[in-house]
Structure 1
């Protein structure tokens, strides 16, 4: 296994297509959410990718804005689920953010059924459950 962290412009066209294909497969097709999966946040994002040889195991996207730092699009590909890779990619992502940014709030929007999972990393729920693309979500925050 290997971990890659790259900004969008550093990714080859093929790697970017592989990432986008997995995101659409999971977030649009599997979760049946019809929305614009590829967005302007991808332009300046950092992509955190865990590979098994050349296969994507898990992925997250780190984005920054005037509102702070966030990550999302957390995924584990189907063949690698229930093996701890979700925890591994989230912890790696938090560690990367902690190294790059200090004394900031990290804010994420997570699916509500993963509340305990995100709290296990030190996130605190910062909102009531709300609907995003037809799926219940909660806003979480952590001071880094």
Structure 2
């Protein structure tokens, strides 16, 4: 999943369909698009896409400290 603006990469995230769960990661917002709350929008869009495509599966995230604040803001448990 990725977003562009005028042919420039703005944000990216990867969704992985594992055997018994769904995972996402490698989420990034390029430097010129930071400070616009795009990271939060990206994660919310990824979660919406996962819920639409894989509504019956568990979502797992790596326990990476980099994502901790974003997950708390999104009420991810």
Fold-level similarity (TM above 0.5): yes
1:103 aligns with 2:56: yes
Please tell me whether Structure 1 or Structure 2 has the larger radius of gyration of its CA atoms: 1
Which runs of no fewer than 5 residues in structure 1 stay unpaired? Answer: 1-47, 125-144
Which runs of no fewer than 5 residues in structure 2 stay unpaired? Answer: none
CA offsets, 1:18-74, max 9 Å, x none?
A: xxxxxxxxxxxxxxxxxxxxxxxxxxxxxx111111111000010111131011110
With a CA cutoff of 8 Å and minimum separation of 6, indicate the structure with the bigger relative contact order: 2
Out of 63, 66, 70, the residue aligned to residue 23 of structure 2 is 70
Quick one: structure 1 residues 110 and 77, their matched pair in 2 at CA, closer, same or farther if it must change by over 3 Å? farther
Please report the RMSD computed on the Cα atoms of aligned residues, expressed in angstroms. Answer: 1.4
Q: Distance in 2 between matches of 1:108 and 1:98?
A: 15
Q: What are the equivalent positions in structure 2 for 1:1-144 lying under 5 Å apart?
A: 48-124=1-77
Q: How many residues align?
A: 77
Tell me how far 1:76 sits from its aligned partner: 0.5
Tell me how far 1:101 sits from its aligned partner: 1.1
Tell me how far 1:78 sits from its aligned partner: 1.0
* TM-score, normalization by structure 2: 0.87
Q: Distance in 2 between matches of 1:111 and 1:77?
A: 19
